[in-house]
Amino acid sequence: MKIHVARFVRTLILAVLFSGCGAVRPGDPASATAAGRLPAIAPDYAGVVIPPNIAPLNFRVKEAGTAYYLRISSTQGTPIEVSDAHGRFQIPLAPWKALLAANTGQPLHFEVFVCNEQGVWTRFNTIENTVAAERVDPYLAFRRMVPWYVTFREMDIYQRCVENFEERPLIENTVVGDPGEQCNNCHSFSGNRPDEMTIHARFPFLMVIARHGEVKAVDTRTELNTTPFAYAALHPNGKFAVYSVNKIVQFFHNIGDTRDVFDYVSDLLLYDFDTNMVSAPPPIATADQLETFPSWSPDGRYLYFCRTVTMPQADFPKRYREVKYDLVRIPFDPAANTWGEVEMVLSAAESGASAGLPRVSPDGRLLAFSLSAYGTFPLFHTESDLYLMNLETRKFDKLACNSDKSESWHEWSTNGRWMVFSSKRRDGLLTLPYFSFIDADGRASKPFVLPQEDPGYYEQSPETYSAPEFLTGPVPYSEQSIADVFHQEKDAPKSYVGTREHPGTREQCEDDAAPGNPT
Q: pLDDT for 302-356, tens place per residue?
A: 999 999 998 887 787 778 888 999 999 999 999 999 999 999 999 999 999 999 9
Dump the DSSP string for 380-417.
G-TT-EEEEEETTT--EEE-TT--SS-EEEEEE-TTSS
Domains of the chain: 2-131 (2.60.40), 157-401+478-489 (2.120.10)
Beta bridge partners, 265, equal 247
Q: What is the mean pLDDT of residues 202-228?
A: 83
Question: pLDDT at position 483, please?
Answer: 84
Q: What is the mean pLDDT of residues 478-489?
A: 82
Confidence grade of residue 464 (pLDDT, cut at 50, 70, 90): confident
Question: pLDDT at position 211, please?
Answer: 92
Closest listed residue to residue 61, CA positions, set 129, 115, 118: 115
Task: Please state the φ and ψ torsions of residue 348, each to the nearest 5 degrees.
Answer: -65, -30
Which residue would you say has higher pLDDT here, 16 or 451? 451
Question: pLDDT at position 518, please?
Answer: 25
Identify the burial level of 329 via C-beta atoms within 10 angstroms of its C-beta, where 0-12 means exposed, 13-18 middle and 19 or more buried. Answer: buried
Is a pLDDT exceeding 50 seen at residue 9? no
Between CA 208 and CA 187 the distance in angstroms is 9
Is a pLDDT exceeding 50 seen at residue 501? no
Is a pLDDT exceeding 60 seen at residue 151? no
Question: pLDDT at position 155, please?
Answer: 73
Between CA 235 and CA 198 the distance in angstroms is 12
Confidence grade of residue 181 (pLDDT, cut at 50, 70, 90): low
Is a pLDDT exceeding 60 seen at residue 497? yes
Name the CA dihedral angle for 184, 185, 186, 192, rounded to a multiple of 10 degrees: 80
Which residue would you say has higher pLDDT here, 248 or 78? 78
Q: What is the DSSP letter of 314?
A: G
CA quadruple 7, 13, 17, 19: dihedral sign: positive
> Position 142: which residue type?
F
Cis peptide before 294 (omega within 30 of 0): no
Question: pLDDT at position 365, please?
Answer: 97
Whole-number average pLDDT of the chain: 86
**Beta carbons of 475 and 197 less than 8 angstroms apart:** yes
Question: pLDDT at position 207, please?
Answer: 85
Confidence grade of residue 247 (pLDDT, cut at 50, 70, 90): confident
Between CA 438 and CA 447 the distance in angstroms is 10
Between CA 88 and CA 67 the distance in angstroms is 10
Instruction: Collapse the DSSP code of 333 into the 3-class scheme (helix H, G, I; strand E, B; otherwise coil) and give the result.
Output: strand
Which distant-in-sequence residues (6+ apart) come within 8 Å of 307 by Cβ? 289, 290, 291, 292, 325, 326, 328
Closest listed residue to residue 465, CA positions, set 14, 156, 229: 156
Confidence grade of residue 407 (pLDDT, cut at 50, 70, 90): very high
Instruction: Collapse the DSSP code of 58 into the 3-class scheme (helix H, G, I; strand E, B; otherwise coil) and give the result.
Output: coil
H-helix or E-strand containing 16? helix 2-17
**Beta carbons of 203 and 182 less than 8 angstroms apart:** yes
Is a pLDDT exceeding 80 seen at residue 122? yes
Instruction: Collapse the DSSP code of 228 into the 3-class scheme (helix H, G, I; strand E, B; otherwise coil) and give the result.
Output: coil
Work out the angle at residue 405's Cα, subtended by the Cα atoms of residues 410 and 52, and round it to the nearest 5 degrees.
45
Between CA 406 and CA 386 the distance in angstroms is 9
Q: What is the mean pLDDT of residues 64-75?
A: 96
What are the pLDDT digits (tens) for 275-288?
999 999 999 999 89
**Beta carbons of 24 and 58 less than 8 angstroms apart:** no
Least confident of 150-159, 213-222, 461-470: 150-159
What are the pLDDT digits (tens) for 340-353?
999 999 999 999 99
